[in-house]
Amino acid sequence: MIMMPFLWLAIIGGGLGRAVIIPGYENYTDFLAPGVVGMAVLFSATMSGISVLWDKQFGFMKEILVAPVSRISIMLGKTLGGSTISIIQGLLILLVAGLIGAKMPGPAWFFMVLLFMIVLGLGFVGLGLAVASKIEDPIAFPLVMNFILMPLIFTSGAFFPLSLAPEWLKSIAYINPVSYGVDGIRESITGVSEFFPLWLDFAVLAIFSLVTILLGAYLFKKMKA
């Protein structure tokens, strides 16, 4: 799961570092690193939903659901576990980015980066659990999630500045929750406001996370073991 973000950072960032010039940034790696951090959190958080499907396949989910524990508690436990893993992977990519020369956040702004990672991770763990609650085949889950995630990440401004994008792409970015997560992480690290103000990034991402967690909780509660 961590290899794809690493390859984007090391190869794409290194290969285009001297060829792409983005106003406000010393090099392309400084611009790309926050987007790749967001991508690492996004994919790891969403794919954590596959654990629900394997639990169904091996009968473990049925044993959990008949235990004297509410389904909401089980869902919240999976949400916190999945988001923790995604945040750790995001921090690892951030560390790698620093080792290859990308700009790092100061001590005060590091907590803001971590906060955006947490909210982004929670939101997409909720989405992953919601989708997993409606799918029975573990093999189909990654296919469905990649079909959802790839357009989200490519239209989020993770790899190119939205301020220079055509109007139709900007319109998509406005309704893409990943755009706000990537933009918030990038501004917290680099100090450059790329597309949205920081408060709007956090507000939209928090609302999205709340909606997906509630949706995931509802579908998980209705799920059949």
- For 46-69, how does the pLDDT look when each residue is reduced to its tens digit (9 = 90+)? 887 777 777 777 666 677 766 677
CB burial class (10 A; 0-12, 13-18, 19+) of residue 13?
A: buried
Q: pTM of the entire structure?
A: 0.86
pLDDT value of residue 25: 78
pLDDT value of residue 117: 93
pLDDT value of residue 136: 77
Packing angle of the helix pair 28-47, 107-134 (nearest 10 deg): 40
CA distance 134 to 125: 15
Tell me what percent of the residues of the chain surpass a pLDDT of 70.
89
pLDDT value of residue 211: 93
What mean pLDDT is predicted for residues 16-31?
74
CA distance 84 to 90: 10
CA distance 81 to 73: 12
Residue 6 to residues 1, 10, 35, 147: CA-CA distances in angstroms?
9, 6, 12, 21
Token pair 């984007």: residue: 8
Q: Which domain holds residue 67?
A: 3-222
**Does residue 225 have a pLDDT over 60?**
no
**Does residue 6 have a pLDDT over 80?**
no
CA distance 194 to 9: 19
Tell me what percent of the residues of the chain surpass a pLDDT of 90.
17
**143 vs 64: which has the higher pLDDT:** 143
Indicate the number of domains in the chain: 1
